[in-house]
Structure 1
Amino acid sequence: MASQNTEQNWDIFCTVVDNYGDIGVTWRLAKQLAVEHKINVTLWVDDLNSFQHILPQLDPKLVTQTHFGIKINQWSEPLKAGYYAGDVLIEAFACELPAQVKQQLITAKQHYAEDATQPKPPVWLNLEYLSAESWVEGCHGLPSMQTSGLKKYFYFPGFTDKTGGLICEKQLFGQRDVWQADINNRLNLFESLGLQGIKASDTVVSIFSYETASLLALCQLWQHSEQTVHALIPKGRCLNSLVELLPCSVDEISAGSQIKLNNLVIHILPMTDQEGYDKLLWSCDFNIVRGEDSFLRAQWAAKPFIWHIYVQEDDYHLIKLDAFMQLYCNNLPPELANSWKALNLAFNQEQAAETSEHWQQLNLADLPLQQHAKQWPIDAINDVDLVSRLVQFVKNS
């Protein structure tokens, strides 16, 4: 197979799962590869309608389009005529490469075996889900020999220097610090989103969770708090937890709606792009997040948070949650660490009463908690971000 690309052409394949999680991570990956490493990226996505929610300028009707210098193709099989595999092929989160792409890899391998002057076969990677579990270190970067004779590498994001690292743009922390240094940035953002009546002294919580009775319990608690609490919630799954507090059905609620319940004000958020979501997380006092993309961005926001992890069989998600909490709480004072872990565990186990109790024990203004939230991103990044490690991994491969 004659090479149609240079070593700087990468293809990323993504199937959209859970609306925005997989495509959220994949889109950040593609942008950082293109912007910081000058790599030509083609992103293949099966669901452009969902993708449009985090990339508003995307046109779901177009088979091919370019945004931020990245070619975005509708992934439908067979792929369009004339397709040639790039020099690096990434399956995002265990999706399968199309059969015609695999056949191109086999052909390239055969030609290279017969004539070493022919282009090397593309590097084939599977980008795995993020986990803090210890076994990730032993599996990261391992090759898997396929029945076709091809070799596929498994790339595991993670929190230690023996893993694939974490997605983080080089300028992100500096941009966050500048933003958070001026209270007017927060207030202006809220106003631009149509969120009225938020004062600088009010407590603001962003919520992007799955359905859970724990969220209802927190909102009922906030109704009677001494200080006004503003809950910023997008229209979606988390609102289903609050039906008994809402004046109408979830379907009748629209972005910009405001529901006042004593000292709790629920604001329905409009959809925003990824940069806007980062700024929202930076601007809140506390963030409740789910999935992988928002989970990591909440950490980079340097604010306290709850991670609502996706439920798995045999409660395996709680093992993953515990692995992360052990890392995150390593340098926290024991009493504070126990309080934060208990809150996260209660929220994830739908223990409504315990969630309320542990929230009341957690002081958001606690200096060690604030300092830890600010230091954690620096420690977690381990000097080198995921995309930089990935580019070096490909070179070594």
Structure 2
Amino acid sequence: MLRRLITLGCEYSDTKTLERKIILVNIAALLSIITTAAYYLLYLIYDNSALLFSGGCQMLLLPLFSLSLWNNYRGNFTSARWLLFLVAVISVLTAITTGQGTVFNTHFYFMLFAILPIALFRNEEWLSKAAMTSLNMIIYIYLEVFGWPHDPAMELLNQSQVMFLQVMVAASCISCLMILQSINEVYAEQAEQSLQRQAFTDGLTGLYNRRYFSIQLKQKMAQAPLCLLMMDVDHFKQVNDNYGHDAGDQALKHLAEVVIEHLRSNELFARIGGEEFALILPAKEARQRAEKLRLAIASTPLFYKSRRIDLTVSIGVYQKGNGDSEEDIMRGADKALYLAKVQGRDRVITNSAPEYKKTS
């Protein structure tokens, strides 16, 4: 239930930035409701007439905070933000002017309200940011300099009660800022991870791309003996010509899914070109693994628009030798792949094969 309230309106968001701001408004509205209710409960405990009157006036504004949530739910984001700020400002001013005065430092909330527009409004809404920040700063400075008299009934509160309310004001302001910062950090981290995924991921198949593959190959070369497997779809141009480019895309995605089903946890699979794929795997049983992958692809046709498309692949396997560089390994696997295609396709050639050694 709480999660649903926090994410109200997110389904209308077309960017992560807007989604973050929607969530921040929802959380701010919920915190305002909870804080107002908590203060009023404390006023009931203190049984002070001035506090009860000012708190009662604030409680009348609670439905307007809920209206901010409703506006987000309806996709009216600008209205939700403005309503939240205006109601929050009016609520605090109501508390100060109807009895509490500035004895609890309640005007500190205006400092918080001056900061929040930076996080809640978008960059293109700079005028709203400036207006709301300026308004709250003016109110804060005025109350800090001139103060506001409190109701005489406030004198009935003892020092510990006054101090506790002052601590509540400070704590709630700090808590709001911490929550705001935490949400911003979470979304910043998610945005960074998303950019990293985009930089290292092939958009069509969801596999790693050539850039990431090269980075990992360099790192893995210093570890246990490895083999590089390079795979190319046979007669891929015919698939595009006979069935259309969408069918070609589906064929590449289909091949990726078949191979992924046969991968082990320590193996890295990537799309490094148009219809070309590469796989880093342990040197042990590399030839057998390559044959299993070739047979798995050949025996798993793609069904596209009620038509069967049989796919085969040519595979070149190169086992890293002493002193081999990244370029040597890539060149060697590419050479083995070329030989597999020259000799009829739908086969595996390794750098230990006689035909490979003859061309060395």
Give me the TM-score of the superposition, normalised by structure 2: 0.21
Larger helix proportion, structure 1 or 2?
A: 2
Q: Structure 1 length as normaliser, TM-score?
A: 0.20
Of Structure 1 and Structure 2, the greater strand share is in: 1
Larger radius of gyration: 2
Higher RCO, Cα 8 Å, sep 6+: 1
